[in-house]
Structure 1
Amino acid sequence: MSTLRYGIIGSGMMGQEHIRNLALIDGAKVSAVADPNGDMRRQAAELAGPDCRMFDDHDALIKSGGFDALVIAAPNHLHRPILGDVLKVDVPLLVEKPLGIDGLQCREIMATANGRRAPVWVAMEYRYMPPIARLLKEVHAGATGTPRMIAIREHRFPFLSKVGDWNRFQDQTGGTMIEKCCHFFDLMRLVSGSEAVRVFASGGMDVNFRDETFGGRKADILDNAFVIVDFENGMRAMLDLCMFAEGAYWQETVSVTGDKARIDAYVPGPARFSPDGQERHAKLVISPRETKMPVSEDIKTDEAILSAGDHHGSTFYQHQKFAQLIREGGAPEVTMDDGTRAVEIGAAAEESVKTGMPVRL
């Protein structure tokens, strides 16, 4: 297999980010895009190159053939029906998070894929942000000792405008705790090596979209929340989310504290939201208890990779690993079970916000 040919289903903002990043992967090309929206479809095809074929329906793309892998980047609520068709095609598949809009959908998708030979990789990009990947490496190498606490802060810009404003509504996204935060619940599971047993959350829709309507409907998604997650092995984790804090220098801060040290990964937001429009370096700080002397390191990433998307290079590094899987075989690093469990934690957080009560898993 010389050149890997990708079909992209869903060519909006995230679909186009995948196309830009695949253009940076040696031996990869986007051979086809499918989207019912003509403008998005044409933009994506132009981005992919002159030989890219266009389809207004995912089924037409599937029947056309001519691809070695598929990427699903359609809106969340369309994942279940699209995957019902796509999983019948035995080619490697990368599906954007969340896998479904609730735990039941995710488990139905897993059942549909039962017996399938080709791998399905759930796109939890945040694992692959260079500063977070470095943090995970240090934690798993024992730098913190036994991890006991994880604290994640994301202070960022509001949800961006997307086709049909689908990301303004719980019934199309699963809710902010699923749409936005399944990444963070995935990281918590990865650090703890354990499963969540209890979730308690407080949140609201306090600033964004309160006086706006979309297609005659009022938005109903959270724009801020605190979430506490308790794990089977005794580790506890916290998420602090604010989606009206785009003035913050660091967009994400991930901190893991164990009995030997604390490690902090600091991730800046995309260049287009910085005052000067310039890319910024990330940072990693290791603070050992014994020496009490923190060691700080700038984590630098090629600007061509940073500028290919809004996720601090993670989409590129994820695609590198996915391409390696296609060529060499093996198992996906992020499984459908991983995607399902992250969604289930998010759904529990949404329920806890509504009821004011902890939710047991």
Structure 2
Amino acid sequence: MAQMVRYGIIGCGMMGQEHLRNIALLPDAGVAAVFEPDAGMAAKAQEFAPGAAIVGSVEELLAVDDLDCVVIVSPNYCHVAQLEEIAATRPLPLLVEKPLFTDPEDVAKLAAFRDSYPAPIWVAMEYRYMPVIASFLAHSQAATGGIKQLSIREHRFPFLPKVGDWNRFNRYTGGTFVEKCCHFFDLMRHALGAEPVRVMASAAQAVNHLDESYDGQVPDIIDSGYVIVDFDNGTRAMLELCMFAEGSAYQEELSAVGPVGKIEAFVPGPGRFWPAHLGPAPVAKLVTSPRAPQGPMVHEIPVDPLLLQAGDHNGSTFFQHQRFLALVRGETDVPEVSLHDGWAAVAMGIAAQESARTGAAVDPRRWM
């Protein structure tokens, strides 16, 4: 029998609840304690983890004896301070939701944390673990002969409401290219096996949230844009984002091209948003298109309906936790998504925000 692992959860909004639902599906794993300051969200957390203690602070959570690891799912701007508190109080294996940080001024704090933290740290990049994207990553080198160009398109719904509406403002999220798109910048680095050297972006708040007001302030988050990234091995990648395109059949589309062919991944959005009158939701698919002999080959990549119901990320949260548990149990020594990975993805997002603001190309290494 595997070692029983008991989680502490910090933050139980929409994403925190997804973590709770997926932990409940894992054998030999459970939730020992939850810290969620919003009463409504805390009550929801209790439904998904009825045996967990509901505590009033990070300090109280860390004082729970029966605790093997911690998942940080709090609002973006809280992550660094909570990392520092955990480091000072009770360093445990950590799964930290993206983005790792939001403020460029936090780079020095993160460096100090990195250099002294004794336990493993895994940054939650769920998109790597979507089955169709995992297959895309596994087969991309063979299908392309070595990726030369990578493009990622996300056409999706607007930002959803959150407790306190913190996700409406750059000062709390780091900006849309940090908050939302660090996932895609992580995929770029991972697929290309290279580091970014130049980021160019054009973006706007074209449609969403312009008629909203919070204490007299109109949201300032962008909802659409393009980002081009040059990498140190001569490859390049592009992101296309539109957050007023929920009518699309597929939410994410990835395409990698090299000297011998192309490979594509098509990822449907959350099933709970698919209109029932249209019939069954689309199934994820992988398409390989060799140059010779020509002719695309389509492979459907279905996901267990139980996992689709447990979250909005095509089953990836479950598979991510399987691997994180192996790390916590000592079955593997190295996090698959390291602190550096999470850090670099945010640096690319910060550079994209800066490029969109100034119109200049930006070197993301200044924040790495």
Give the shorter-chain TM-score range: over 0.9
Listed as ranges, the gaps of 5+ residues in structure 2 are none
Matched, 1:339 2:359: no
- Verify the 8 A CA contact 1:131 1:265 in the aligned structure 2: yes
Q: Secondary structure at the match of 2:265?
A: strand
What is residue 353 of structure 1 aligned with on the other side?
356
Q: What CA distance in whole angstroms lies between the structure 1 residues aligned with 2:202 and 2:31?
A: 42
Q: Which amino acid aligns with 2:358?
A: T
Q: Secondary structure at the match of 1:113?
A: helix
Residues 255-304 of structure 1, C-alpha deviation per residue, up to 9 Å, x if partnerless? Answer: 11111110000000111111118543100000001111111100011000
Residues 204-225 of structure 1, C-alpha deviation per residue, up to 9 Å, x if partnerless? Answer: 0010000111233210000000
Q: What CA distance in whole angstroms lies between the structure 2 residues aligned with 1:301 and 1:247?
A: 22
Return 334-343 or 210-219, whichever deviates more: 210-219
What is residue 286 of structure 1 aligned with on the other side?
288
Residues 100-249 of structure 1 correspond to what in structure 2 (within 5 A)?
100-140=101-141, 142-249=142-249
- Verify the 8 A CA contact 1:87 1:113 in the aligned structure 2: no
Q: What CA distance in whole angstroms lies between the structure 1 residues aligned with 2:4 and 2:117?
A: 24
Q: Give 4+ residue runs of structure 1 displaced > 3 Å after superposition.
A: 277-280
- Verify the 8 A CA contact 2:250 2:282 in the aligned structure 1: no
Residues 119-166 of structure 1, C-alpha deviation per residue, up to 9 Å, x if partnerless? Answer: 0000011001111000000024x2210110000000000000000000
- Verify the 8 A CA contact 1:147 1:256 in the aligned structure 2: yes
Structure that is richer in strand per residue: 1
Q: Report the alpha carbon displacement of residue 38 of structure 1 after superposing the two structures with TM.
A: 1.3
Identity level (%): 51
Residues 79-118 of structure 1 correspond to what in structure 2 (within 5 A)?
79-88=79-88, 89-118=90-119
Q: Which amino acid aligns with 1:216?
A: G
- Verify the 8 A CA contact 1:9 1:58 in the aligned structure 2: yes
Q: What CA distance in whole angstroms lies between the structure 1 residues aligned with 2:127 and 2:106?
A: 23
- Verify the 8 A CA contact 1:175 1:221 in the aligned structure 2: yes
- Verify the 8 A CA contact 1:279 1:306 in the aligned structure 2: no
Q: What CA distance in whole angstroms lies between the structure 2 residues aligned with 1:315 and 1:109?
A: 25
Q: Which amino acid aligns with 1:251?
A: Q
Return 120-129 or 109-118, whichever deviates more: 109-118
Q: Which amino acid aligns with 2:255?
A: S
Residues 36-79 of structure 1, C-alpha deviation per residue, up to 9 Å, x if partnerless? Answer: 11111121022112x21001211111122321110000000001
Q: What CA distance in whole angstroms lies between the structure 1 residues aligned with 2:33 and 2:130?
A: 27
Q: Secondary structure at the match of 1:332?
A: coil
Q: Secondary structure at the match of 2:137?
A: helix
Q: Report the alpha carbon displacement of residue 32 of structure 1 after superposing the two structures with TM.
A: 0.9
Return 120-129 or 326-335, whichever deviates more: 326-335
Q: Report the alpha carbon displacement of residue 109 of structure 1 after superposing the two structures with TM.
A: 2.2
Residues 171-210 of structure 1, C-alpha deviation per residue, up to 9 Å, x if partnerless? Answer: 0000000000000000000111111111111110010000
Q: Report the alpha carbon displacement of residue 117 of structure 1 after superposing the two structures with TM.
A: 2.6
Listed as ranges, the gaps of 5+ residues in structure 1 are none
Q: What CA distance in whole angstroms lies between the structure 2 residues aligned with 1:315 and 1:326?
A: 16
Q: Secondary structure at the match of 1:44?
A: helix
- Verify the 8 A CA contact 2:249 2:282 in the aligned structure 1: no
Q: Report the alpha carbon displacement of residue 104 of structure 1 after superposing the two structures with TM.
A: 4.2
Q: Report the alpha carbon displacement of residue 253 of structure 1 after superposing the two structures with TM.
A: 0.2
- Verify the 8 A CA contact 1:37 1:56 in the aligned structure 2: no
Q: What CA distance in whole angstroms lies between the structure 1 residues aligned with 2:111 and 2:130?
A: 27
TM-score (norm: length of structure 2): 0.95
Q: What CA distance in whole angstroms lies between the structure 2 residues aligned with 1:32 and 1:311?
A: 24
Cα-Cα RMSD? 1.3
Give the length in aligned residue pairs: 359
TM-score (norm: length of structure 1): 0.97
Q: Report the alpha carbon displacement of residue 103 of structure 1 after superposing the two structures with TM.
A: 4.3
Residues 241-320 of structure 1 correspond to what in structure 2 (within 5 A)?
241-276=241-276, 278-320=280-322
What is residue 59 of structure 1 aligned with on the other side?
59
Q: Secondary structure at the match of 1:114?
A: helix
